[in-house]
Structure 1
Amino acid sequence: MNEMTTGAMDIASMSVAVALVIIGLVAWFFVNRASVKANQQIQLLEALLDEQKRQNIMLRRLTDAVAGKEQAAKASDESEDKDFTRLIPER
């Protein structure tokens, strides 16, 4: 009878070890999956940041060009006769 309880204990301890290994593998799978998704999101955010930097540079160039044209237009307007009709907004 003592031999039967020893065999049952071996099977129980082995099943507990197998269950722990399976639980560990499942936990590792989800942690690894989350890590991969986080890395992908970081790469996408870095690409978005680079794109925004390029857009900011293009916007600065555009606003500098428009500001230069406005300054040239102001200089030409100042040379013309000043009248009060420009102060009245159109409806």
Structure 2
Amino acid sequence: MSELLNAGLLNIASLVVSAVVMIVGLVLWFFVNRASSRTSEQIELLEALLDQQKRQNALLRRLCEANEPEEKAELRVKADAKKDDEFVRLVAER
């Protein structure tokens, strides 16, 4: 009789262990799946933000170019030429 009782307890114990392993596995799967979906959402939001920033930069560049007067562009060219002259002055003579 005790042999039958021991065999039944072993079956029940293996069933309980299997159920506990399955429950732990499902809980782990839930948290990993949840973290993965949140990460995907964050990546999508960051990509959308990057796209908007690129658009804003392009718009700001166009606005700056449109508001830049012709005189400033000419002054910039003259300043660049003056810098070139100063560079020549820095060259040691032989």
Bin of the TM-score, shorter chain as denominator length: 0.7 to 0.9
Partner Cα separation in structure 1 for residue 45 and residue 21 of structure 2: 36
Tell me the CA shift for residue 73 of structure 1. 6.7
Question: 2:44 corresponds to which letter in structure 1?
Answer: Q
4+ residue segments displaced more than 6 Å: none
Q: Which runs of 5+ in 1 are unaligned?
A: 76-91
- The TM-score, its normalising length taken from structure 1, stands at 0.75
Q: Which residue of 1 aligns with 2:19?
A: 18
Post-superposition offset of 1:72: 3.8
TM-score (norm 2): 0.73
Counting matched residue pairs gives 73
1:25-78 residue CA offsets vs partner (Å, 9 max, x unmatched): 0000000000000000000000000000000000100111122x2x24787xxx
1: distance between equivalents of 2:48 and 2:31?
Answer: 26
Q: Aligned-pair RMSD on alpha carbons?
A: 1.5
Q: How does 1:55-66 map to 2 (within 5 A)?
A: 55-66=56-67
* Identity level (%): 49
